[in-house]
Amino acid sequence: MTTPGLRERKKARTRWAIQEHALRLFAEQGYEQTTVDQIAAAADISPSTFFRYFKTKEDVVFADEYDPLIVALITSAPAGLSPLEAIRHAVVSQLGDVTDEDQATILARARMYENFNGQTEVFTAPIAIRMGREPDDPMVHAFCGGVIGALLPAIYGWAEHDGEEKLSVAITRALDALAEGVRGA
């Protein structure tokens, strides 16, 4: 078992170059506005090579080799922490020393979130009132985003099982799970 050969190193470099340029372009121009051809040109490879390294354009954003780190951090968080605290611990730990490239990745991912932004207003507007805050307060967005994030997989799971149980049951369970995870059961 020798040190990774020249081929492997070159492959890694190519992969890194693609991601690097793709994320930069996404940040500069937006995800939809950036074409695979542009990325390929920037990384000085052919478009087909792009697809050799990443199955789809989306994969550039979501292929992340740092994910295992988060997994490890959550797993190894102190046992007394609630799930929410464990995640906070892990995320904040990892993001403490975020490099420039990581920033680009994060930004690119976040940009893709724009697509989903539209429907949050349904919740943010009335909730802002209830919380006594402005409708564009980050805390309102965070909370409403969290609720929606909890609802979506519930609805999706319900839809997949085609109504075996009532939707309201699934939703109630999801929001309970959110509360439980936050509180620490």
What is the smallest separation between the CB atom of 66 and DNA, expressed in angstroms? 22
What is the smallest separation between the CB atom of 74 and its own copies, expressed in angstroms? 4
Return the range that interacts with its own copies (CB under 8 A); candidates 2-10, 13-21, 38-46, 85-93: 85-93
Judged by CB, which is closer to DNA: 47, or 145?
A: 47
| Amino acid at position 93, single letter | S
Secondary structure of residue 29 in the 3-state scheme: helix
Footprint (CB under 7 A) of DNA, residues 23-62: 34-37, 44-49, 51-53, 55-58
CA separation for the pair 180, 178 (Å, rounded): 5
What is the smallest separation between the CB atom of 94 and its own copies, expressed in angstroms? 9
DSSP per-residue codes, 57-98: HHHHHH--TTHHHHHHHHHTS-TTS-HHHHHHHHHHHHHHT-
Tell me which residue of 11, 51, 16 sits closest to 35, measured CA to CA: 51
What is the smallest separation between the CB atom of 46 and DNA, expressed in angstroms? 2
Tell me which residue of 142, 161, 75 sits closest to 173, measured CA to CA: 161
Q: Contact 96/15 with Cβ under 8 angstroms?
A: no
**Residue 95 near its own copies by CB under 8 A:** yes
**Residue 109 near its own copies by CB under 8 A:** yes
Judged by CB under 8 A, which of 17, 88, 101, 135 binds its own copies?
Answer: 88
Footprint (CB under 8 A) of its own copies, residues 47-66: 58, 62, 64
Secondary structure of residue 162 in the 3-state scheme: coil
**Residue 46 near its own copies by CB under 8 A:** no
What value does the CA radius of gyration of the chain take, rounded to a whole number of Å?
Answer: 20
Residue indicated by tokens 């020393």: 97
Residues in binding contact with DNA, number by CB under 7 A: 24
**Residue 178 near its own copies by CB under 8 A:** yes
Positions that interact with DNA (CB under 7 A): 5-8, 10-11, 14, 34-37, 44-49, 51-53, 55-58
